[in-house]
Structure 1
Amino acid sequence: MSFELELAAASAAPAGYSPAIAPHPTQTSYDHVVLPGDFPDPTIMKVGDTYWASATTAEWGAVYPIFSSKNLLDWELVSHVFPDKHPAWASSNFWAPEFYQENGRFYVYYTARKKGGMLCVAVASADHPAGPYHDHGPLVGQEAGSIDGFAMPDEHGDLYLIWKEDGNSCHQDTPIWAQRLNDERTALVGEATELFGNDVRWEGPLVEGSALVRHNDWFYMFYAGNSCCGKGCNYATGVARSRALLGPWEKYEQNPILIGNDTWKCPGHGTVTELDGRWFLLHHAYFAQSHEFVGRQGLLSEFTWNAQEWPEFVNRSPQAAPLTDLARLHIAEEFEGNELGPAWQWPLGQQPTSRVHEGQLHLTAKPSRLGALVARRTHVATYKAATTLDFAALPADTFAGLAAVGDPYNALALMAGNGQLQIWHVKSGKQQCLQHVFIEPCATLTLRLEVWGGQRYRFAYSTDGATWQPLPTESFTLNGTYLPPWDQGVRVALVAQGAEDTTAVFNNFIIRNQR
């Protein structure tokens, strides 16, 4: 199939990004992948008839996506907590946002690393769930680090922050703490109380990701234990309960209550919600066939309460079916409007200058590393991606192209410039050119990336959109197993490297998912 036909087919699907799979008919099962792609540590809250969700963004901007839904299954990306610049006090590790609402005010308690210092739990607030949010800065930052903040009123109505001391970062235990919040909900007051720690074998080196709910006069804390991320992860979900928020807490003797299966690996770190008297945990898990190459995806898993008033999941594992209608997750971007849509990302603190004009993306170059880049999450580990570059307009000594990116220090890219094409291999910040070919002058140049299983990569190019020249050769592919960081999936990016007064022009961008 030619690139024009591929692009036309992709354009038949809705333009831009929507993580929803499809409108669902009336059905009994709510167990679904509702946030496909790299959306770890999801949070959820209900306001009126609308559900709101967010998730970890780690080292990518914009920080903390905000989704809305009326039915828990079909979600729309509407904004971000920090859509442009992230808070000035923080440098990285934007993890685990948690919503809280009170008296028409909305709060996001989140984790970030203080510049030159430790991980902290901080808070931002807004008058509407979609924002804009005003940051109030850190609430707590212990020497070992403090992460995974969750706000919960106690049995007297006093609001407390629950968080994890990140002791596993320095080979120590990981107690879960609680401390009262002030009336403005922007600072801690009084003394901290330790609730419990990792003292059961399945929990391994840590307990974290606390999410609390009250049911029949019990406080229930859903929490995660063991190793969260990567191919060797063994994450699982447990639950504890108490009559009083500050304890004593009793862990369920049947823990863990949610473990992996043949389809979904390492389920954990979720938030509880309710619909029509039914109970759900929105949590993350790796799809077994794509694992770390796509990242931890947002799943909805239903649970019930047993006779002993403990939560139970069917078969103690996620029942969500694998994604099947992959065509609805194709990305077809023809750069309509006057700015990039909210699904585009960039490396944290490196938001590029870009402009959308007359169906083209104008991306201002940067000289460092890969250069300036804008990226999209992937949904599967086998796919094709392509873009058409206005090659004739590319300034001298400026390179532009298409890349598979784990982070700015780890990437594989096909870059055009100075009358040639180059394959760039970037690993641990070290860049080398694996292959280059000279090409005749042409108006436009189409670049294509093919990926199999997240591990094998091959590029191709076309000067007419129909005849393809593979790079490297047909019999050879590049190894991309090194690309994903320990806690993130691979993205596909448009890249421009060169002097900061130069611009690369892209005509389109597609990703077509395959099994």
Structure 2
Amino acid sequence: MTLPKVLQYLFVGSVFWCCKSSLPSNSATRQPDQADQAFSSALVMLGDYPDPSVTKIGNAYWASATSSNWFPAYPLLKSTDLIHWQTTGFIFDKKPDWADYYFWAPELTYDKGKVYVYYTAHKKGGNLCVAVASADRPEGPYRDHGPLVCQTDGSIDAFPMRDNKGQLYLIWKEDGNSVGKPTPIWAQPMNEERTALTGEKRELFRNDAPWESNLVEGVSMMKHGDYFYAFYAAAGCCGPGCTYANGVARAKNLLGPWEKYNKNPILTTDESWRCPGHGTAIERNGHHYFLYHAYGKQGHVYVGRQALLREFLFTDDGWVTFQNSGGTVLPALPTVRDEFEGNTLSTAWNWSIFRQPIIQLQNGQLRLGAKPDIIGDYIGHRTFSGNYTTQTTVLRGQPNSPAAGLAIIGDDDNAIGLSVQNDELRVWKREKGNDQVITTAQLSTTKSVTLQAKVQNGKDILFGYSTDGQTFKALETAPIDGSFLPPWDRGIRVGLTAKGTAGQTAQFDSFVLAP
């Protein structure tokens, strides 16, 4: 893979770490199998990585996570130690023909020399379905095999599991909570080709405990000793009012009867992390770990659900307990700088699943084709904290230039940004599809202008600009409130925008995101 100049940074937590940053000394050399008695959890994927899944293939671990309505779909991450992750690409660079949006909860598995990903997406003209794709190697390319199950109320959160006789089953959740119904967890035999379910489906369990509230979901299974164990999430997954937590159930036979632990939930909100859940159990060197997501109390919904690793133990009476011997190991926040060198865009960038941007990298510049609607065309980058500064340098002086900008983006209908076109700077807001100009200012003739946004608490946004790249002039006296920005199921992105007529191109010389 050819990467731009950002290869000067060290890959950690699937983002680029500036050579001037460093990990805390207690995490830089620690291996996960040394984790017991050391820390309760480790933040291993900074930024928006909901519903993480992990599997071991050869000597490496491979992971993916929900991308929802950001594209490309499902990042592919690789690690040798479960702590340090490198993004190698994506499962889907092109949407499967049957699906249109909501790419959720990928479950990576490896079986008999092939890699499979079971995933959820919204069917065109229908509801949520569970589908499967496969590849001969974890890097891909992945071939989509289409939906396996599409129930009327929706089918999500698939996991494959073999019973004691080796029969392959698909485990999934019926999305009854979306229409005010219970949420049964189903199991049904599946053929070895993974192209169809066979036989009859059987219910394993459903939301019937008070703490589970209106749903159970996100089941991940493993076999240990005499028991199958099902790790599952329950209650409200997302947003400021989330109530998510994780429980465990066990059974000696895959089809039950299933027994829920009387000490559930076993993973709950603590002093640092809110609403933990929906993960995958993985073993390394005889130790058992759970890769799951949670909201950091700093950054919360604005950063999104981040991926953490935590060790768990099996108790003498055959249940599960998580280690609680220390706090969370936190890596230093990175400074990201993209000079747009090379021929391909870094895998750190995303865009709307509903829009395919026109992007060209040439002579150390990013050229982004314009569109006339919404906020224009755009690409977005994950944030890592609620407090950060971001800036980009826009090249000017080209005839017929569009409005080129820097924006804090929730989705197509919710964003706040600063754009420059001709000799005018414009601070704008798009909330629930309604556009508003907040501030305008005149700009002298210069070859370039650097646009800047300073963000505090994930939502308080101040814009400024500089004509020399050093001295910045503020455009507002009070922060703009961006609390409306995050979609319910994902974090926000910092983005570059180009709004104008077809054929116009915005030119960007660099991008910086710093804590």
| TM-score, normalised by the number of residues in structure 1 | 0.94
Native 8 Å contact 2:14 2:45 kept in 1: no
Which sits farther off after the overlay, 422-431 or 461-470?
461-470
Partner Cα distance (2:118, 2:467) in 1: 50
Residue 354 (structure 1) aligns with:
359
Find out whether 1:445 has 2:485 as its counterpart.
no
Task: Specify which of 452, 455, 467 is matched with residue 471 of structure 2.
Answer: 467
Partner Cα distance (2:108, 2:472) in 1: 49
List structure 1 runs of 4+ shifted beyond 4 angstroms: 10-17, 20-23
Q: How far off its partner does 1:301 sit? A: 0.7
Residue 490 (structure 1) aligns with:
492
Residue 256 (structure 1) aligns with:
265
Between the two proteins, the alignment pairs up a number of residues equal to: 497
Find out whether 1:399 has 2:395 as its counterpart.
no
Q: How does 1:49-60 map to 2 (within 5 A)?
A: 49-60=59-70
Residue 477 (structure 1) aligns with:
479
Question: What is the DSSP-based 3-state SS (H/G/I as helix, E as strand, rest coil) of the residue aligned with 2:200?
Answer: strand
Q: CA RMSD in A?
A: 1.8
**Percentage of identical aligned residues:** 47
Partner Cα distance (1:344, 1:351) in 2: 13
Question: What is the DSSP-based 3-state SS (H/G/I as helix, E as strand, rest coil) of the residue aligned with 1:345?
Answer: strand
Which residue type is aligned with residue 459 of structure 1?
F
Find out whether 1:413 has 2:417 as its counterpart.
yes
1:11–1:439 CA distance, 2 compared to 1 (3 A) = farther
Task: Specify which of 131, 135, 143 is matched with residue 126 of structure 1.
Answer: 135
1:181–1:20 CA distance, 2 compared to 1 (3 A) = farther
Residue 4 (structure 1) aligns with:
none
Q: How does 1:497-508 map to 2 (within 5 A)?
A: 497-508=499-510
Q: How far off its partner does 1:395 sit? A: 2.3
Partner Cα distance (2:16, 2:323) in 1: 24
Give unmatched runs, 5+ long, in structure 2.
18-22
Task: Specify which of 302, 309, 323 is matched with residue 311 of structure 2.
Answer: 302
Native 8 Å contact 1:286 1:296 kept in 2: yes
1:268–1:91 CA distance, 2 compared to 1 (3 A) = same
Which residue type is aligned with residue 478 of structure 1?
I
Residue 48 (structure 1) aligns with:
58
Q: How far off its partner does 1:314 sit? A: 2.6
Q: How does 1:113-192 map to 2 (within 5 A)?
A: 113-192=122-201
Which residue type is aligned with residue 480 of structure 1?
G
Q: How far off its partner does 1:320 sit? A: 2.2
Partner Cα distance (1:197, 1:47) in 2: 32
Question: What is the DSSP-based 3-state SS (H/G/I as helix, E as strand, rest coil) of the residue aligned with 1:81?
Answer: strand
Native 8 Å contact 1:367 1:498 kept in 2: yes
Task: Specify which of 320, 344, 352 is matched with residue 328 of structure 2.
Answer: 320
Task: Specify which of 65, 71, 80 is matched with residue 90 of structure 2.
Answer: 80
Q: Deviations over 1:28-84 (max 9, x none)?
A: 2273111110000000000121000000000100100000000111100001100x2
Which residue type is aligned with residue 277 of structure 2?
G
Native 8 Å contact 2:155 2:174 kept in 1: yes
Native 8 Å contact 2:377 2:499 kept in 1: yes
Partner Cα distance (1:20, 1:423) in 2: 29
Q: Deviations over 1:114-144 (max 9, x none)?
A: 0121100000000001110001111111111
| TM-score, normalised by the number of residues in structure 2 | 0.94
Task: Specify which of 27, 34, 39 is matched with residue 44 of structure 2.
Answer: 34
Q: How far off its partner does 1:465 sit? A: 1.2
Which residue type is aligned with residue 231 of structure 2?
F
Partner Cα distance (2:138, 2:77) in 1: 10
Q: Deviations over 1:238-261 (max 9, x none)?
A: 000111111110001110111110
1:489–1:368 CA distance, 2 compared to 1 (3 A) = same
Question: What is the DSSP-based 3-state SS (H/G/I as helix, E as strand, rest coil) of the residue aligned with 1:169?
Answer: helix
Native 8 Å contact 1:260 1:318 kept in 2: no
Q: How far off its partner does 1:331 sit? A: 1.0
Partner Cα distance (2:10, 2:117) in 1: 31
Native 8 Å contact 1:267 1:318 kept in 2: no
Native 8 Å contact 2:12 2:84 kept in 1: no
Partner Cα distance (2:116, 2:305) in 1: 24
Which residue type is aligned with residue 352 of structure 2?
P
Residue 433 (structure 2) aligns with:
429
Find out whether 1:195 has 2:195 as its counterpart.
no
